[in-house]
Amino acid sequence: MNATTNDQSPVDLSVTIGGIKLKNPVMVASGTFGYGPEYADLVDLNKLGAIVVKGICLQATRGNPTPRTAEVESGLLNAIGLPGPGVDGFVSTYMPFLRQYDVPVIVNIWGKTIDEYAAVARKFDQVPGVAGLEVNVSCPNIKEGSALFGTDLDMFRRVIEAIRSSTRLPVIPKLAPNVADITAFAKAAEACGADAISLINSFPAMAVDIKTRKPKLANITGGLTGPAIRPIAVRLVWQAAKSVKIPVIGMGGITCLNDGLEFFMVGAQAIAIGTANFTDPAAAETIIEDLRSYLVAQKYASMREIVGTFSP
């Protein structure tokens, strides 16, 4: 009997992102995986590179009215509006569950003011089981401020500096795609002490119901995700990755390994699966297995060897 099993695969899938050790470079993206338990029946959480939970702010929030999403060609428009249990609600309701697993938990945080961002970061600093903070400076669906933090370079710097000085946890700003020069934001994140960056967040967008002449979202505008935005994301990840030394987490419409490989090749050290979790809850696990097979077939010893191999 052949003793070789998958677990003893000669390929090293592990990566370290801003000090967070991941057993593989495939995460699930914030807002598409709830807080973990929602998918626990369908996905072996221990197999994921990391879980990035839905955005958390200081207080419990209700989010936007309905309709909150609209399916469009090869994409999903959403304006959920970041409903959530707040820091305390999240920590008491979900952290005991998440601590049972051997998977890094990255908490996506947001606030309406710089002080709120800093306060949330400070609170999570004391919470066991939290591996890092992804900073949502770019949710297009919050009226007060948040989108501005992602598109105004000065505001962006101030919020990242405030968070940096409030926590020892790895800080990962999530960049907005709708800026003229992504490298300015990537460099600013690095200069302000960020440990990694992730991109892209959803792209501001809208759709009209031509029968009623009304918007398809109650919020009128929303964020576009899914395969429709992938080429935009690949371009931005390429530009951002070239401009900084800190690791880049790439995301935007990844549905399969080939999609993910584009991101690795242009410089992402890890990727996140978002909307594809809705289409196929097994997507992330499938991509991890397919990545392993690909690396074996291509005779790579480590996943890190394919990062940045794009050759224009």
Partner 1 sequence: MTMYQENAIVLEHQPIQGGYQLLQLRAPEIAPHVKPGQFVHVKVPHLNEAVLRRPFSVFKADGDTLAILYKDVGKGTSTLTHLKYGESLNLVGPLGHGYPEMSEGSFPILVAGGYGMAALYLCARSMPVKGVAFFGGRAARDILCVKEFESLGWTVLVTTEDGSMGQKGKVTDALDPWMAREGAVLKPEFFVCGPSGMLKAIASRALARSWKAWVSVDNNMGCGVGACLTCVLKVHDDEKGDWAWARACREGPVFDASDIIWESID
Residue 279 has a CB neighbour count (10 Å cut-off) of: 13
CA dist 65 and 205 (Å) reads 17
Separation CA 300–CA 297 (nearest Å)? 8
One residue of 94, 277, 294, 295 binding partner 1 per CB under 8 A: 277
Task: Please report whether residue 69 would count as binding partner 1 according to CB under 8 A.
Answer: yes
Least Cβ distance, residue 28 to partner 1 (angstroms): 10
Nearest to 240 by CA among 252, 228, 249: 249
Does 219 help bind partner 1 (rule: CB under 8 A)? Answer: no
Contact 37, 95 (CB under 8 A): no
Name which of 67 and 308 has its Cβ closer to partner 1.
67
Sites for partner 1 among residues 37-56 (CB under 8 A)? 38-39, 41-42, 54
Question: What are the residues whose beta carbons fall under 8 Å from the beta carbon of 96, sequence distance 6 or more?
Answer: none
Choosing from 18, 49, 55, 75, the residue that interacts with partner 1 (CB under 8 A) is 75
Identify the CA nearest to 229 among candidates 210, 201, 248.
Answer: 201
The only residue of 149, 275, 284, 303 in contact with partner 1, by rule CB under 8 A: 275
* Whole-number Å distance between alpha carbons of 203 and 231: 12
Q: Which is nearer to partner 1, 80 or 103 (CB)?
A: 80
How many residues make contact with partner 1 (CB under 8 A)? Answer: 33
Residue 158 Cβ vs partner 1, minimum distance, rounded to whole Å:
30
Largest Cα separation within the chain, whole Å, is 66
Q: Which one of 3-11, 77-85, 162-170, 187-195 is the stretch in contact with partner 1 (CB under 8 A)?
A: 77-85
- Among the listed residues 200, 210, 276, 282, the one whose alpha carbon sits nearest the alpha carbon of residue 241: 200
Among 12, 14, 34, 122, binds partner 1 (CB under 8 A): 34
In the annotation, is 192 catalytic? Answer: no
27 is an interface residue for partner 1 by CB under 8 A:
no
| Neighbouring C-beta atoms of residue 83, cutoff 10 Å | 13
Alpha-carbon separation of residue 303 from 82, 296, 300 (angstroms): 34, 10, 7
Q: Give the one residue of 152, 280, 290, 305 binding partner 1; rule: CB under 8 A.
A: 280
Q: Which of residues 78-107 bind partner 1 (CB under 8 A)?
A: 78, 80, 83
For position 286 contacting partner 1 by CB under 8 A, the verdict is no
**Catalytic annotation, pick one of 57, 139, 192, 256:** 139
Calpha distance 253→229 (Å, rounded): 6
Catalytic residues: 139
The contact set with partner 1 (CB under 8 A) reads 31-34, 38-39, 41-42, 54, 62-63, 66-69, 71, 73-76, 78, 80, 83, 226-227, 275-282
